[in-house]
């Protein structure tokens, strides 16, 4: 027995003598995790957060979160002698006078961008596959909370260097607070410690950025992961996979090795970005000066959609009863995100209400199998992308030599018209894909081989659908598919015998495809053909 | 190798059910087969002791097995033969050793590459650090993934889910304990206790409120928002403090100006833009005729939308453009809004010229500058 094995055994015994941990360890190491590439999106978000903690901690060793004015006398010659806040000066020091400081700053910034990007893509995966359904609504809510906190955290961090760009962002945030009815000026003054720019905002954002929000995020991530562990992961339909089991690999050793390796790969991508792709060169922007601004000012990407909605909003302002209602500010920056995030948080409950679907779901949906949900998601994404484009309307106008006014008018129309059209299109596309699946289930895959029957008739040979696909396709629970799957040797005739009451009992209507007819009826397939395709799939 | 089937134990086995059961691995278990007996014959059984017990119980009331883990089938990957395994091992080892190279390179570059910005600085410093850090991290990461994918066992396991909800009896017991404890506290019948507790604990919520108000001095909020540092007779100075004299700004030119008061160039609400155009280009209402001097006109630079400095001036069209949200104002017509989300004109500062020929303000702005706020009346 090698020394290492002996040591491990000794440690395990020592711990188990005190904690009786072997049962827990055994169960945990044997825990089964389903594999799918899309399940790694959440991992990327998690690993990005770990990288943010590591690099961020390093940055706090040098950063001075203070708006105290100092005269710059560091290595970066163009800014020497210029008065600036200590926050900006210390960020310059990290960039130019601390060995490895610049790469840490850049990794931190890139990790923040990718943290939120991974959250958003992970959210889309969860949305389009229906992973948020019972019993996982709680984890959906936590996820939405993490998204909102991530955006706040990112904005706070973006503001800390106190450069011209981030100061402009803070001024906009202050002005948004001013627009809130009744409490607006109070809120703005209290947060900023007086009229803008005040003398407190950097000092206040710093502990919020490095202590308060990350602390809450860590708590929520822990809860998020705990629920995934406890409720077990969802999985896609496949051979041997049911609503009541999990099929995959055990945590130990292969899964852990892959996940651990993936952490280092994600970290490696971040360091490559931090080393080679310059980001947020604050020394080019200069220290914040409320009377200055640079053209083409852009926020980090995750605030872009709010910038876009602000740019698109018409200049509606109501002055009445001795007060001012600034809809031009309030709607795009407060009301709209409020509606969007509330709708996002409530979506699982709304869908359950409209579909009357109260069942447990551990098998994931294919997006095409839920045309309305997929349509809603696609419409939301199109709306979001249009707002992001609007957030860069000045850049687009410059690059493509277009009129900024026309871009703005086009996008104003676009955000109202495009999402409904995308909804209709995506829903129709899903239904078409379902029909294509029906065809495959019915006929198998066309082989291109023509066979002549004794009667003289020519028929095309079909190849049975590989099992994993057949299982995936039959996972859609519509009357037509159930008839197809359960029909066995009866084929189309079985469709007629589906009891109407049973059909009615299934959630249908808006969220369920009404339009899909079994394609056998349309194509007039013969019974033996269907039977053959089905039976070949099920040879065991 | 014998195989463990996960066939459903229902009685009506449809095509759909058969589709869902594993195919191509030995015999299919028939309907109603005891899953437990299958497990016990498996060579790859990985159940823990609780499984068998849970299995026995589980069959009693048709519930799921908790924490049972069994091999479903050995996975799709063909195990490597010895030579291939050795080759794979060498690849993995190569990646792990790449990490060592990365770390050595990182340490060397960190110390040895010149870094003194302005005197002795290599622009490759940060990229080199990034390169070697990436090498180190990707070496470990890719090595681990490759190791798992080639040399570790490829298995596909099935594990039953435990039920999500508690048994009804357990629920009932928990609710009963909760109710009994609540009775014991006396809260249901002792109304004085209950109401005073609600009042006392509820009042704690007020404790932080004064602290919240301590965040900012807020005695003169309206004054702060309605006034700037401009006063009657105050000179218009540049950011370096030099006063602006009539004639110093060319036609078509602009100058950012601040009030000549202590820290006047730091007050965010006082920055203003002096624009000179031909007097005949200027279209202002009768009451503002004497607010400008010979085509020199001054507006607040603080955007009435969200406060960004509106300083991009287009000489030919007299358009003032805000780079934040593209509000556009016409400087030749009292800075009225032409385009964008801003709802109000930029406020105009009335100016004149003092005895020495320097521009001075006739007073503060006649309306609040900057973004709208709730208390603003018009």
| Pairs from A484-487 (Cβ < 8 Å, separation ≥ 24) | A484/A438, A484/A441, A484/A442, A484/A518, A484/A520, A484/A530, A484/A534, A485/A441, A485/A534, A485/B14, A485/B15, A485/B16, A485/B19, A486/B14, A486/B15, A486/B16, A487/A530, A487/A534, A487/B15
Using CB atoms within 10 A of its CB, is residue A489 exposed (0-12), middle (13-18) or buried (19+)?
Answer: middle
- According to CATH, the superfamily of the domain at A37-234+250-283 is Cytochrome Bc1 Complex; Chain C (1.20.810.10)
* DSSP 3-state of A386: helix
pLDDT grade for A479, boundaries at 50, 70 and 90: low
ipTM value: 0.84
pLDDT grade for A109, boundaries at 50, 70 and 90: very high
Q: Average pLDDT in the A39-45 region?
A: 96
Per the model's pLDDT, the better-predicted residue between A78 and B266 turns out to be A78
Q: Average pLDDT in the A267-290 region?
A: 94
Does the beta-carbon distance from B306 to A232 stay under 8 Å? no
Q: Which of A485, A491, A490, A496 is nearest to A520 (CA)?
A: A491
Q: Report pLDDT digits (tens) over A208-261.
A: 999 999 999 999 999 999 999 999 999 998 888 888 989 988 898 889 999 999
Does the beta-carbon distance from B138 to A265 stay under 8 Å? yes
Q: How many CB atoms lie within 10 A of CB A52?
A: 25
pLDDT grade for A3, boundaries at 50, 70 and 90: confident
pLDDT grade for B217, boundaries at 50, 70 and 90: low
pLDDT of residue B115: 85
Per the model's pLDDT, the better-predicted residue between B242 and B116 turns out to be B242
Phi-psi region of B186 (alpha: psi -120 to 50; beta: other; left: phi over 0): left
Res. A399: pLDDT tops 50: yes
pLDDT of residue A516: 43
Nearest CA in chain A to B69: A30
Q: A470-479, B14-23, B35-44, B124-133 — which is least confidently predicted?
A: B35-44
* CB contacts, 8 Å: B16 with chain A: 474, 482, 485-486
Q: A87-96, A362-371, B59-68, B303-312 — which is least confidently predicted?
A: B59-68
pLDDT of residue A493: 35
Q: How many CA atoms lie within 13 A of A28 on its CB side?
A: 8
Nearest CA in chain B to A101: B126
Of B69, B164, B326, the CB nearest to A250: B69
Does the beta-carbon distance from A258 to B149 stay under 8 Å? yes
Res. A153: pLDDT tops 50: yes
* CB contacts, 8 Å: A77 with chain B: 118
pLDDT of residue B116: 81
pLDDT grade for A536, boundaries at 50, 70 and 90: very low
pLDDT of residue A461: 83
* CB contacts, 8 Å: B258 with chain A: 291
pLDDT grade for B37, boundaries at 50, 70 and 90: very low
pLDDT of residue B119: 78
Res. B39: pLDDT tops 90: no
pLDDT grade for B311, boundaries at 50, 70 and 90: confident
Contact assessment for residue B133 and residue A275, using Cβ atoms and an 8 Å cutoff: yes
Res. A508: pLDDT tops 60: no
Mutate to test the interface with A, among B227, B257, B298, B373 (most CBs of A within 10 A): B373
pLDDT of residue B219: 52
Block residue for tokens 């015999």: B27
Does the beta-carbon distance from B324 to A186 stay under 8 Å? no
Q: A119-123, A189-193, A369-373 — which is least confidently predicted?
A: A189-193
Q: Report pLDDT digits (tens) over B182-192.
A: 999 999 999 99
Q: Tell me the CA distances in angstroms from A143 to A126, A224, A227, A292, A385, one per residue in order.
A: 10, 7, 11, 38, 21
* CB contacts, 8 Å: B141 with chain A: 261-268
Block residue for tokens 């004794």: A454
Res. B298: pLDDT tops 80: yes
Q: A242-246, A379-383, B136-140 — which is least confidently predicted?
A: A242-246
pLDDT of residue B218: 58
Nearest CA in chain B to A35: B156
Q: A200-214, B111-125, B299-313 — which is least confidently predicted?
A: B111-125
Block residue for tokens 């009377």: A291
B343 touches chain A (CB under 8 A): yes
pLDDT of residue A341: 96
Q: Which of A332, A327, A307 is nearest to A315 (CA)?
A: A327
A306 touches chain B (CB under 8 A): no
A207 touches chain B (CB under 8 A): no
Mean per-residue pLDDT of chain A: 86
Q: Average pLDDT in the B16-37 region?
A: 37
Q: Report pLDDT digits (tens) over A310-352.
A: 999 998 988 888 888 999 999 999 999 999 999 999 999 999 9
pLDDT of residue B30: 37
Within 165-224 of B, beta carbons closer than 8 Å to A belong to 212-213, 215-218, 221-222, 224
pLDDT grade for A429, boundaries at 50, 70 and 90: very high
Does the beta-carbon distance from B344 to A317 stay under 8 Å? yes
pLDDT of residue B220: 52
Q: Which of B98, B136, B145 is nearest to A43 (CA)?
A: B145
Within 261-280 of B, beta carbons closer than 8 Å to A belong to 265-269, 271
Res. A506: pLDDT tops 60: no
pLDDT of residue A509: 42
Q: B258 to chain A nearest CA, in Å? A: 9
User: Where do the domains of chain A lie?
Assistant: 37-234+250-283, 429-537
Mean per-residue pLDDT of chain B: 80
Q: How far apart are CA B35 and CA B8, in angstroms?
A: 9
Q: How far apart are CA B365 and CA A472, in angstroms?
A: 70
* CB contacts, 8 Å: B344 with chain A: 317
Q: A469-478, B331-340, B361-370 — which is least confidently predicted?
A: A469-478
Res. A396: pLDDT tops 80: yes
B121 DSSP β-pair partners:
B115
pLDDT grade for A471, boundaries at 50, 70 and 90: confident
Most confident of A127-141, A475-489, B10-24, B281-295: A127-141
Res. B141: pLDDT tops 90: yes
Res. B67: pLDDT tops 90: no
Q: How far apart are CA A328 and CA A184, in angstroms?
A: 15
Res. B36: pLDDT tops 50: no
- Give me the percent of chain A exceeding a pLDDT of 70: 88
Block residue for tokens 């596309």: A429
Using CB atoms within 10 A of its CB, is residue A133 exposed (0-12), middle (13-18) or buried (19+)?
Answer: buried
Q: How far apart are CA A417 and CA A423, in angstroms?
A: 10
Q: Report pLDDT digits (tens) over A281-321.
A: 999 999 998 888 887 778 899 999 999 999 999 989 888 88
Q: How far apart are CA A464 and CA B371, in angstroms?
A: 68
Res. A538: pLDDT tops 70: no
pLDDT of residue B137: 97
Q: How far apart are CA B221 and CA A412, in angstroms?
A: 36
Res. A119: pLDDT tops 50: yes
pTM: 0.85
pLDDT of residue A297: 79
Per the model's pLDDT, the better-predicted residue between A392 and A481 turns out to be A392
């Amino acid at each position: 027995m090698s020394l290492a094995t002996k040591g491990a055994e000794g440690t395990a015994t020592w711990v188990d003598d005190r904690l009786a941990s072997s049962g827990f360890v055994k169960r945990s190491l044997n825990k089964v995790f389903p594999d799918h590439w899309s399940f790694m999106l959440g991992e990327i978000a998690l690993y990005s957060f770990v990288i943010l903690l590591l690099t961020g901690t390093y940055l706090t060793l040098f950063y001075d979160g203070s708006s105290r004015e100092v005269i710059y006398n560091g290595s970066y010659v163009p800014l020497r002698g210029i008065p600036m806040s200590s926050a900006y000066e210390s960020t310059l020091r990290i960039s130019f006078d601390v060995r490895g400081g610049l790469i840490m700053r850049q990794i931190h910034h890139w990790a923040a961008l990718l943290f939120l990007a991974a959250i958003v893509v992970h959210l889309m995966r969860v949305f389009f596959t229906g992973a948020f359904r019972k019993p996982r609504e709680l984890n959906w809510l936590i996820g939405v909370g993490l998204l909102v906190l991530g955006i706040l955290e990112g904005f706070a961090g973006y503001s800390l260097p106190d450069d011209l760009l981030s100061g402009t962002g803070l001024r906009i945030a202050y002005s948004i607070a001013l627009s809130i009815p009744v409490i607006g000026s109070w809120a703005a003054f209290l947060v900023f410690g007086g009229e803008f720019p005040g003398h407190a905002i950097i000092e206040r954002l710093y502990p919020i950025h490095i202590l308060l929000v990350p602390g809450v995020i860590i708590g929520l991530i822990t809860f998020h992961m705990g629920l995934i562990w406890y409720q077990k992961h969802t999985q896609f339909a496949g051979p041997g996979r049911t609503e009541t089991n999990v099929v995959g690999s055990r945590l130990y050793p292969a899964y852990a090795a892959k996940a651990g390796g993936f952490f280092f790969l994600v970290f490696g991508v971040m360091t490559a970005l931090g080393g080679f792709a310059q980001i947020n060169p604050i020394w080019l922007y200069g220290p914040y000066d409320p009377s200055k601004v640079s053209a083409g000012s852009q926020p980090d990407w995750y605030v872009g959609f709010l910038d876009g909605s602000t740019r698109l909003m018409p200049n509606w302002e109501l002055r009445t009863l001795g007060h001012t209602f600034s809809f031009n500010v309030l709607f795009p920056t407060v009301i709209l995100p409020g509606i969007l995030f509330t709708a996002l948080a409530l979506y699982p409950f709304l869908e359950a209400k409209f579909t009357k679907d109260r069942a447990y779901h551990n098998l994931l949906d294919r997006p095409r199998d839920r045309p309305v949900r997929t349509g809603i998601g696609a419409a939301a994404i199109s709306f979001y992308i249009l707002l992001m484009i609007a957030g860069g309307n000045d850049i687009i106008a410059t690059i493509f030599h277009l009129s900024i006014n026309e871009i703005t008018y086009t996008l104003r129309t676009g955000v109202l018209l495009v999402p409904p059209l995308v909804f209709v299109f995506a829903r129709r596309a899903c239904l078409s894909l379902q029909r294509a699946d029906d065809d495959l289930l019915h006929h198998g895959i066309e082989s291109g081989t023509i066979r002549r029957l004794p009667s003289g008739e020519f028929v095309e040979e079909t190849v049975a659908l590989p099992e994993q696909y057949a299982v995936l396709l039959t996972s859609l629970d519509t009357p037509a598919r159930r008839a197809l799957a359960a029909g066995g040797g009866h084929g189309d005739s079985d469709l007629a015998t589906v009891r109407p009451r049973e059909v009615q009992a299934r959630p249908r209507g808006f969220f369920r495809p009404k339009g899909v007819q079994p394609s056998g009826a349309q194509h007039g397939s013969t019974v033996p053909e269907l039977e053959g395709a089905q039976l070949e799939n099920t040879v065991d | 190798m014998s195989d463990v089937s996960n066939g459903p134990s229902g009685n009506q086995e449809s095509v759909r059910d058969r589709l869902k059961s594993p195919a191509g691995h030995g015999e299919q278990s028939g309907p109603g087969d005891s899953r437990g007996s299958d497990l016990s014959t498996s060579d790859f059984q990985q159940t823990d002791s609780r499984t068998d017990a849970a299995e026995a119980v589980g069959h009693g009331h048709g519930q799921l097995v908790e924490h049972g883990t069994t091999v479903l089938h050995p996975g799709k990957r063909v195990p490597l033969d010895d030579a291939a395994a050795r080759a794979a091992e060498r690849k993995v080892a190569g990646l792990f050793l790449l990490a060592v190279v990365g770390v050595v390179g990182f340490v060397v570059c960190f110390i040895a590459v010149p870094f003194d910005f302005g005197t002795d600085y290599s622009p490759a410093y940060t990229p080199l650090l990034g390169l070697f850090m990436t090498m180190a991290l990707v070496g470990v990461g890719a090595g681990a993934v490759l190791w798992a994918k080639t040399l570790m066992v490829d298995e596909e396991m099935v594990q039953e889910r435990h039920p999500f909800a508690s048994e009804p009896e357990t629920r009932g017991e928990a609710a009963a304990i909760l109710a009994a404890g609540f009775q014991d506290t006396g809260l249901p019948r002792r109304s004085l206790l209950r109401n005073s507790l609600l009042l006392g604990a509820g009042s704690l919520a007020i404790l932080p409120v004064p602290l919240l108000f301590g965040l900012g001095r807020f005695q003169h909020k309206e004054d702060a928002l309605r006034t700037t540092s401009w006063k009657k007779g105050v000179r218009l100075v540049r950011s370096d403090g030099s006063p602006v004299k009539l004639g110093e700004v060319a036609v078509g030119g602009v100058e950012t100006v601040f009030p000549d008061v202590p820290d006047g160039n730091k007050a965010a609400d006082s920055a203003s833009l002096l624009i000179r155009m031909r007097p005949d280009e200027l279209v202002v209402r009768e009451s503002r005729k004497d607010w400008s001097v010979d085509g020199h006109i001054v507006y607040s630079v603080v955007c009435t939308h969200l406060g960004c400095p509106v300083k991009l001036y287009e000489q030919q069209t007299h358009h003032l453009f805000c780079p934040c949200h593209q509000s556009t104002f016409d400087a030749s017509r009292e800075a009225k809004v032409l385009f964008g989300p801003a709802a109000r004109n930029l406020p105009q500062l009335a100016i004149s010229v003092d005895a020495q020929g320097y521009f001075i303000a006739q007073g503060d702005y006649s309306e609040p500058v900057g973004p709208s706020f709730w208390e603003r009346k018009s």
